[in-house]
Chain A
Amino acid sequence: MVTRVMQKFRLINPDATNRIEKGIVVGWAVLVFIVILVAAALTRFIVGDISAQEFVTEEFARNAGSAGINADQFTFTDSWVRATPPGAMTAAAYVDIRNLGNDDVLLAARSDKARHVEIHTTREQSGMMRMSRLDALPVPADSVVQLASGGHHLMFIDIPAAFVPGESVIVTLVFANAGVRDVLFTVRDVR
């Protein structure tokens, strides 16, 4: 009886059946799409934006130095001392200081390989190259300050022994805010 009715129904209007089936398929598709959208939105809400997350990590690293949790706010690269000729009384040292933390100022440097260490800068003035001592070298946030030949350098004054290529030298850098850092320098022969 039922089959007959259905058969009748189909027989009566097969187009209508097709339309209803299409409607159901479209309906499901829309529902699935909405579910995906909601899920994506929820994921984003819970986990957070990927780029934002990277920012968070950097922010974390930035604060970690002062908080002493993770890596330091300073990165010291290319730290080297120029090997000295025999009889030399002075030597120059160079380093790139990368500061991911807050603004800071390099105030002083010391090493047991020299009676004293000064922060110097070379400048051209009135047709002469002159060196002058700096009382402070600003190391701004998010910057790299280069101490390099022909510019700023650490000057070792009254060295008791020559700097021999390959040897390592520890230099203590004193920052106004971040405090002291011991940096390993390598002696290089650049002849």
Chain B
Amino acid sequence: MSTVSKLLIVIVFLVVGSVGAMTARQVFVVEEPTDMPVPEINGFVLQQPRVLPEFALLDGHARAFARSDFEGTWSFLYFGFTYCPDICPTAMVEMAKLKDLLAASRPDVAAEYYLVSVDPQRDTPERIQEYVTYFDDSFKGLTGDLLEIGKLAQTASVIHVIEPSADGASYEVGHSSTLTLLDPQGNIRAIFKEPLRASVLASDIDRVLTYVERVSNEI
């Protein structure tokens, strides 16, 4: 074979090879990651999962509860207090309805529901446990040191204050009324804001879950 023929064969191999590679790429490789539109919800979807800091709290049975205890299931966090007669019970009722709605619409999604106290002076583990289970047997309460609660609240963009009343004997508690969604790795993925209505939350959460699934598939 002449040098020209050898060269031709090499060229043919190169051409066939590169065409084949390009075809294979088209067939087997999923399309380039696109910019998934962030769903519009009554609240905020975080494009980057927000990692929780380490914290040390107590659950309703006065057992230690740490960041890693959120791992394994999705979690919903409502920051409130048991002394609250209006906003918190309303939120707890909506959270109970949400649990039922999601159990029906997304049976594949395992989730836990928490009330995190922003008034630990009055909310002992025992107190918060009997409060949350009144709304749903499976609900969980978290309480503990106010500074430890603050770490969790701050990351969830929840503001809370304790305001002494004029007579000094009692005090009022102010807090953001939001619902925080953690993924099974324990990272914040979305924050839902008032008005917290179960039906709206259920459809918003469905869109957030779809978004999170598609975004994580692309990685």
Are A and B a genuine interacting pair, yes or no?
yes
Binary per-residue interface labels of chain B (74-90) against chain A in the complex, 1 for a CB within 8 Å, 0 otherwise: 00000000111111011
Chain A neighbourhood of B207, CB < 8 A? none
Chain A neighbourhood of B177, CB < 8 A? 128-129
Q: How far is the CA of A22 from the CA of B129 in the complex (A)?
A: 99
Complex contact B85–A90 (CB within 8 A):
yes
- The stretch of A3-11, A104-112, A119-127 in contact with B is A119-127
Q: How far is the CA of A132 from the CA of B161 in the complex (A)?
A: 13
Q: Chain A: residues with CB nearer than 8 A to chain B?
A: 82, 85-92, 120, 122, 124-133, 149-150, 153, 155-157, 190-191
Chain A neighbourhood of B195, CB < 8 A? 150
Known: A86-B134, A87-B127, A191-B93. A129 touches B161 (CB 8 A): no
- Can you list 30 contacts pairing A with B, beta carbon distance less than 8 Å? A82-B85, A85-B82, A85-B130, A85-B134, A85-B135, A86-B130, A87-B82, A87-B131, A88-B85, A88-B131, A89-B83, A90-B84, A92-B86, A122-B87, A127-B159, A127-B176, A128-B174, A129-B87, A130-B163, A130-B174, A131-B86, A131-B87, A131-B172, A150-B87, A150-B195, A153-B86, A156-B85, A191-B93, A191-B134, A191-B135
Question: Which 6 A/B pairs are nearest by Cβ-Cβ distance?
Answer: A85-B134, A92-B85, A130-B174, A128-B174, A90-B85, A129-B177
Q: How far is the CA of A137 from the CA of B29 in the complex (A)?
A: 68
Q: Closest CB-CB distance, B167 to chain A, in whole Å? A: 11
Chain B neighbourhood of A88, CB < 8 A? 82, 85, 131
Main secondary structure of the interface of B (DSSP, over half): mixed
Chain A neighbourhood of B83, CB < 8 A? 89-90
Complex contact A128–B87 (CB within 8 A):
no
Chain A CB within 8 A of B96 CB? yes
Q: Chain B: residues with CB nearer than 8 A to chain A?
A: 82-87, 89-90, 93, 96, 122, 127, 130-131, 134-135, 159-161, 163, 165, 170, 172, 174-177, 194-195
Chain B neighbourhood of A92, CB < 8 A? 85-86, 89
Main secondary structure of the interface of A (DSSP, over half): strand
Other contacts beyond A86-B130, A122-B86, A155-B85: 12, CB < 8 A: A82-B86, A82-B89, A85-B89, A87-B127, A87-B131, A88-B82, A88-B131, A126-B159, A127-B159, A128-B176, A129-B174, A153-B86
Q: How far is the CA of A92 from the CA of B127 in the complex (A)?
A: 19
Give the residue of B122, B127, B172 whose beta carbon is less than 8 angstroms from that of A132: B172
Chain A neighbourhood of B163, CB < 8 A? 130
Which A-chain residue is minimally distant from B91 (CB atoms)?
A129
Chain B neighbourhood of A90, CB < 8 A? 83-85
Chain B neighbourhood of A131, CB < 8 A? 84, 86-87, 172, 174
Q: How far is the CA of A157 from the CA of B177 in the complex (A)?
A: 22
Known: A85-B134, A124-B194, A127-B159. A190 touches B93 (CB 8 A): yes
Q: How far is the CA of A9 from the CA of B8 in the complex (A)?
A: 144
Chain A neighbourhood of B87, CB < 8 A? 122, 129, 131, 150
Q: Closest CB-CB distance, B193 to chain A, in whole Å? A: 9
Q: How far is the CA of A87 from the CA of B133 in the complex (A)?
A: 12
Q: How far is the CA of A101 from the CA of B62 in the complex (A)?
A: 55
Give the residue of A128, A150, A191 whose beta carbon is less than 8 angstroms from that of B161: A128
Known: A85-B131, A86-B130, A86-B134. A128 touches B159 (CB 8 A): yes
